[in-house]
Amino acid sequence: MHKKIQNSRILITGGAGFIGSYLVEELLKSSPAKIIILDNLVRGSFENMNSFIGNSTVEFIEGDIRDAALLERCIADADYVFHMAALRINACAANPKEGFEVMLRATFELAELCVKYKVKKLIYSSSASVYGLAQHFPTPETDNPYDNQTFYGGAKLWGEQLFRSYKFMYGLDYVALRYFNVYGPRMDTDGKYTEVMIRWLDCIRDGNSPLIYGDGSTSMDFVYVRDVAKANVAALVSEVTDQAFNVGNCEETSLKQLLEALLKVNKSALIPAYREENTVNPVSRRLADNRKAKELLHFEPTFTLEEGLSELSQWYFEKKTSALPI
């Protein structure tokens, strides 16, 4: 139970999404007075909100953060704001204009309104994409962002800088969290980095050889979604402000190792098949240095990859079974 959350009013933009829905569950443990979720359901769903949609503390508003009047109504009596609504990296690349409207313009309006209504603290979902291919591994927050090549990474970095300037100009307290590769039940089944898990789970279910494109050495830092929700709570309850933090598991896992772990937790003896790499991934490595979050937010991830993959597999196979026609 966190005193700061108890009886407080909290807005979560994008709260019907993958990470947002776990954050709601985590916050409810500390008895807030109200949680308002503003989400247009472009990616989020009622299914994600199943465990709390009937809870009278939670108010779900189906709407768009680009609707300035609606955003103002949501922020007007919020003590705290978690800003999670965003387009996915692929969606930004497919439609940068929409990316601009959602990731930049609406985020700007949100910052203005947080100042206007004296929001006590804002927690911003940033991303390891701000680094592009980082300079150092493990990557500290001080690595520079000049190697990012994506609109999405650029937009996230701009968001961080926007809040930084609003802290400087208007005293708006904020923390930015740079998530690495988040995975777990309710995850996107066609995300840019993590979708490979879902493809392989399909292979395990159907008994087909899982495919690895290239030599399988591309690595990621997989952090379990419940840990990411806890990092958000830690960022809110701490006195820390005007800082960005990595949120990863601090373990570098190659695609080859990921597949081995997935086969192991599912007791599968399938043999992977290798294919020539057909796309160039400019980000061939990811590994977070979490020391800053540990020291200042007292946050440390708790889920091992195997534990997380077990929960993911169970969810995915149950979901697929329940979706079969009767």
Ligand X SMILES: NC(=O)c1ccc[n+]([C@@H]2O[C@H](COP(=O)([O-])OP(=O)(O)OC[C@H]3O[C@@H](n4cnc5c(N)ncnc54)[C@H](O)[C@@H]3O)[C@@H](O)[C@H]2O)c1
Given 5, 8, 10, 20, the residue binding ligand X (CB under 6 A): 20
Shortest distance (Å) from residue 225 CB to ligand X: 8
- Closer CB to ligand X, 16 or 35, in the complex: 16
Q: What would the x/- binding string for ligand X be over residues 280 to 299, using CB under 6 A?
A: --------------------
Which of these ranges, 11-19, 134-142, 213-221, 264-272, lies near ligand X under the rule CB under 6 A? Answer: 11-19
182 part of the interface to ligand X, by CB under 6 A: yes
Q: Which 50-79 residues touch ligand X, going by CB under 6 A?
A: 64-66
The two tokens of residue 199 are 């493809």
For ligand X (CB under 6 A), the number of binding residues is: 27
Given 12, 39, 185, 312, the residue binding ligand X (CB under 6 A): 39
219 part of the interface to ligand X, by CB under 6 A: no
Of 22, 124, 131, 152, the active-site residue reads 152
- Closer CB to ligand X, 107 or 208, in the complex: 107
Select from 25, 18, 11, 22 the least CA-distant residue to 42.
Answer: 18
The rounded distance, in Å, linking the Cα atoms of 212 and 196 is 9
The rounded distance, in Å, linking the Cα atoms of 65 and 102 is 7
305 part of the interface to ligand X, by CB under 6 A: no
Q: Which residues pair with 220 in a beta bridge?
A: 253
Which of these ranges, 83-91, 261-269, 294-302, 310-318, lies near ligand X under the rule CB under 6 A? Answer: 83-91
The rounded distance, in Å, linking the Cα atoms of 244 and 213 is 34
The answer to whether 152 is a known catalytic residue is yes
230 part of the interface to ligand X, by CB under 6 A: no
Give the DSSP per-residue string, 103-152: IIIHHHHHHHHHHHTT-SEEEEEEEGGGGSS-SSSSBPTTS-STT---HH
314's enclosing H/E stretch is helix 305-322
Shortest distance (Å) from residue 184 CB to ligand X: 9
85 part of the interface to ligand X, by CB under 6 A: yes
The rounded distance, in Å, linking the Cα atoms of 23 and 230 is 7
119 part of the interface to ligand X, by CB under 6 A: no
Q: Which amino acid is at 85?
A: A
125 part of the interface to ligand X, by CB under 6 A: yes
308 part of the interface to ligand X, by CB under 6 A: no
What lies within 8 Å, CB to CB, of 131 at 6+ separation is 139, 143, 145, 147, 148, 153, 178
Given 19, 244, 293, 309, the residue binding ligand X (CB under 6 A): 19
Which of these ranges, 13-21, 201-209, 253-261, 303-311, lies near ligand X under the rule CB under 6 A? Answer: 13-21
- Closer CB to ligand X, 65 or 244, in the complex: 65
42 part of the interface to ligand X, by CB under 6 A: yes
Q: Classify residue 19 as exposed, middle or buried by CB count within 10 Å of its CB (0-12, 13-18, 19+).
A: buried
93-to-96, 97, 282, 323 alpha-carbon distances in Å: 6, 9, 14, 31
159 part of the interface to ligand X, by CB under 6 A: no
The rounded distance, in Å, linking the Cα atoms of 73 and 113 is 10
The rounded distance, in Å, linking the Cα atoms of 176 and 235 is 8
Given 5, 12, 14, 36, the residue binding ligand X (CB under 6 A): 14
131 part of the interface to ligand X, by CB under 6 A: no
Q: Which residues bind ligand X (CB under 6 A)?
A: 14, 16-20, 38-44, 64-66, 84-88, 102, 125, 127, 179, 181-182
Q: Which residues are annotated as catalytic?
A: 152
